[in-house]
A and B are shown apart, each in its own frame.
Chain A
């Protein structure tokens, strides 16, 4: 066969081969004709809607499928496992509780619910996933701008490319806040705020990448509408590192960010820039405050807490209470409390932010080593008839050799600065925590925790008055 004929034949053969099959996530696929039942696969983000729905984002962390999936589960069906009664142990995925499902992007991080829509960003595609939750039925449908495509469950395209529209790459941190644009008569009272974990490369000089990180604010009425994007760090401020967790403080109308990620040229990636956590011995731990009302002109306020925390990696952040310190004859002064989880050393730290004297920088006033690798932090809400000290729940893993299977929940009395409880046996890499809305008369906080590596949702009961008696009441789902 002449060489040219052979080449042509080869090309034709190649062209005639079908493309790699699309493997849709359960319960849409992998084979749409014979879909697998719903199950958790790398569940990460979770939020609970007061109307009675638990929304979970499956991050598809091993790319087994071509997309992730969001599920909505009926809260009442999950609440049945909480005391009184005995622990249910590990039980199959609660298919009967599944009310809604939608395909979303991969590598989703934390999830928030804002004005009836669940948001979580995909780090690989830089897209924001937005899935509307029907409060009556729990059905999930795609958002497209201001509209909801009722019945459309293929939301893989997301609602906006945050990299192109708002300079946010590797979006991860997410929060809901309010934004009053300069000169505007009325505020956008539900804004979705998203920050970049992956620093954006602004310039490369002599092989050195100069980077920046950004914050985007989107209008929840139309999440494809960028209200503004602001620079959080750049080469002159904060070294251009990316952030992990973030919260919105309604008192000061600021976004607060922690975490440290850098970008650099990588030989192992063929010269493509890679992203890594900052070196653990860098001695740097920057707490970032971004005033949202200044919009894209916001000048971030950065505080270096490395000397106090002795850690660079801060994976978890939660907003604590506003404590009023009264020491006559001095005027009462308010201290905003933040709780952070740090790695290397593994600690839970309480940070105070003086509100009434802006001259003073934030400082860590209590640091509790925890011996396990902490991750996400949630301040527990108490029902009005259960006042007490501030309880903080922290997911963690006790890594032995290389195993990450010993997940646990650590309970910290934030007021006392002491660990007051621990729940072992959570499984492989517990991730995000959500609390069912507390009701008057309840003696316990009821938590749902995504367990990333164990393909499940764990339900944990935390007695407000006896947090050391906290326990797992059910593990829902397991890996195939």
Chain B
């Protein structure tokens, strides 16, 4: 086993000592995770999707000090192959992707777990974990091939109840075949006459959307304490993430309907299994749990890629037990209608912007993919998106919360919480240690319910679910107050000559409500930045910038009088004219790059070496239409005034197009790579954006889902054409409080391998595990992109061996 100790792994200043071991090849695209319980140990199965196999780690499960046949040398080590030199490789068909552990017991109540495998062929495979272990330990035992159960199409996901018994219920969901529907199939998992695990199809029904993930309510392995099970041990409900991202005329995507949230299916009402793939009956009793809210403006469906249901928990000592399944945490898929949803738009009426101000929204990153949404399931009623703080999470009215965005998009989600505390602990007893490397004494927080999300950068982030915010290393360790956004120093490039007044940015002061003499909540900080809205970004405000996409436009040139006409037969300029952030038009200018003579001729002297720094004004723009090429009329100026005789037919020219001093403004505002808009000198520019977190400890009222990100006015000396270079810019950064300024390390509590080995990221499924030996939950996260498996103990972060990555 190769593993990298990740000390102290939390995104802390001090975490430079990551033990970095290059991938050893034991994992190849690890994805699905599942635990199969056995007598003296549990087996953590990892789906190696790249090499069509499972690997298994042995986890000794008896309480510390209790006699066991599972040795310390075996604990957290790979199940060996019979030759002992390599980890066992359990072949399970093409591309195993999702796993579920079935906690079977035999007639003597001895644990005899199995694992169910969903891959890319249209079957479900059943692997008998006891047989696999026996074959590993005893060469006389034959490792039996997995049992195979047909499905109507390739499976998407599989889940199983976590209450042990001689019969365990599992449920798989399969893709929709062409012209058909996705299907849920319920299995009865048992041991056959030979003592090997098998699965029998018992119920099946069809779904009219694209399923992405299944979830059941989890909890203690004690049927007496479970309120999510039917009398026969089957789960009361199975939850299906709706991952429909494209609709059809017949089956459109609608907010509150298809493509929005998850669907709860009553297991008891799924029709009995009939072996007829062509006629699968619809799931009878279902309830949709939309991830959008009627109060969203605009309301847009939110398809989900991953979901998890909260386990039962107790929030306070002596407080009521909150039933399992009360909350649903979902990670969103991106949707096309959020792609490119940025740019200049009308200023929000309730913002007290200056007259004539330019407002632009910077849109939803990555088309909304990888955001986290929390729902009140309200079983038996109408589910709701959790309300925004300070409204209690259990409330059904008020402003809905905006999706939370981790520093990089979320991939998979899970919960941690419990309703039975270990001896000596009082509720709430789900523990998380924060502030490692920051606080002199990192506190261990006692929390009722923790949400977990794996992210594209390979991290696992922690969500303070009931507060609807990410855990924050500074705030929650008491090192610093609430995180507030900030602005770096501003650089002017190039610097002006000595004695020349500076061009500057002026950030507005907080806007004061005359009635209360208090700042308006959305405009209470300098620059109208907002915690949880203003994000980490780099900004450039560029004077007379080259217009994106028009860095080199070419066509034929001619001259009539003082007008030089550039005809662009291969270019449609309509997007540049229409884009509100660009508004190409008269007053913008070009600079010549080169000219080309017709074949067999030479250029006149005026065009052979054109002055490339002369601003040639555009006097007219005809953007082009079918049959009519785009044209720019240019005004000859001193320095670029070629003789009319130069423009023989066939002379071509290539030009660079710049924003000029027009009504749209000579300044272009870039956030990262995106041009947000143009703005005149001395005019206020206000950037708005979607909320990504609720990081403040106290809110007087629910903050809007979309709020100001930053506002400024370009002030001081206005650059002068001919004196100042085009491309002069003011550059600065904003820090939103999710990362430590100047680093890629998170301020929000994260476990991540920051060594080179962990850089590929793309964390996948999360498994929360505990046993008598490990009373505090362990979090396993598959690092699909980095070919690793991360193990962390949230209660002990920062201590030795509290975070490890197996490669």
Contact = CB atoms under 8 A, between A and B. Distances in A.
Interface of A: 180-185, 187, 253, 280-281, 291, 293-301, 303-304, 308, 310-311, 323, 325, 327, 330, 333, 335, 344-347, 352, 354-361, 363-367, 369-372, 388-389, 398-401, 406, 415-417, 419-422, 424, 464-466, 468
Contacts of A416: 210, 243, 245-246
B582 A398 contact: no
A419 B300 CA distance: 26
Contacts of B120: 419-422, 468
21 contacts: A182-B653, A299-B552, A310-B785, A327-B341, A335-B339, A345-B762, A346-B29, A356-B579, A358-B548, A358-B549, A359-B343, A359-B581, A359-B675, A360-B343, A365-B369, A371-B30, A400-B28, A416-B245, A416-B246, A468-B121, A468-B175
Given A365-B366, A468-B120, A360 B554 contact: no
Contacts of B342: 360
A389 B247 CA distance: 11
Contacts of B555: 182-183, 293
Interface in B497-515: none
Contact of B674 (A181, A360, A468): A360
B570 interface: yes
Contacts of B548: 301, 358-359, 361
10 A-B pairs closest in CB distance: A371-B29, A183-B652, A182-B652, A345-B785, A465-B178, A371-B50, A361-B673, A345-B760, A358-B549, A359-B675
Contact of B571 (A293, A301, A327, A406): A293
Contacts of B135: none
B337 A371 contact: no
Contacts of A281: 756, 759
A166 B238 CA distance: 63
A187 B340 CA distance: 33
Interface string B171-183: 0000101110000
Nearest to A443: B178
B552 A291 contact: yes
Given A291-B551, A359-B548, A363-B339, 18 more contacts: A181-B554, A181-B652, A182-B556, A294-B554, A299-B552, A303-B673, A310-B785, A358-B575, A358-B576, A358-B579, A363-B365, A365-B339, A369-B784, A370-B49, A398-B51, A416-B246, A419-B97, A465-B178
A358 B785 contact: no
A301 B366 contact: no
Interface of B: 25, 28-31, 48-52, 94-95, 97, 120-122, 153-154, 175, 177-179, 210, 243, 245-246, 300, 333-334, 336-337, 339-343, 365-367, 369, 456-457, 547-557, 569-571, 575-576, 578-579, 581-582, 593-598, 650-654, 656, 672-677, 756, 759-762, 764, 784-786
Contact of A184 (B94, B652, B761): B652
A382 B48 CA distance: 32
B29 A369 contact: yes
A187, A253, A345 — most chain B CB neighbours (10 Å): A345
A301 B549 contact: yes
Contact of A363 (B366, B554, B677): B366
Contacts of A422: 94-95, 120
Nearest to A370: B29
A281, A358, A370 — most chain B CB neighbours (10 Å): A358
A371 B652 contact: no
B609 to A, nearest CB: 13
B736 to A, nearest CB: 15
B48 A371 contact: yes
Contacts of B551: 291, 299-301
B575 A345 contact: no
B583 to A, nearest CB: 10
A335 B336 contact: yes
B122 A468 contact: yes
B342, B457, B596, B675 — most chain A CB neighbours (10 Å): B596
Nearest to B365: A363
A155 to B, nearest CB: 29
A466 B153 CA distance: 9
B25 A400 contact: yes
Nearest to B549: A358
Contact of B762 (A300, A347, A424): A347
Given A364-B366, A366-B369, A359 B784 contact: no
B244 to A, nearest CB: 9
Contact of A346 (B50, B365, B596): B50
B153 A310 contact: no
Given A183-B598, A355-B575, A465-B178, A310 B759 contact: yes
A406 B676 CA distance: 47
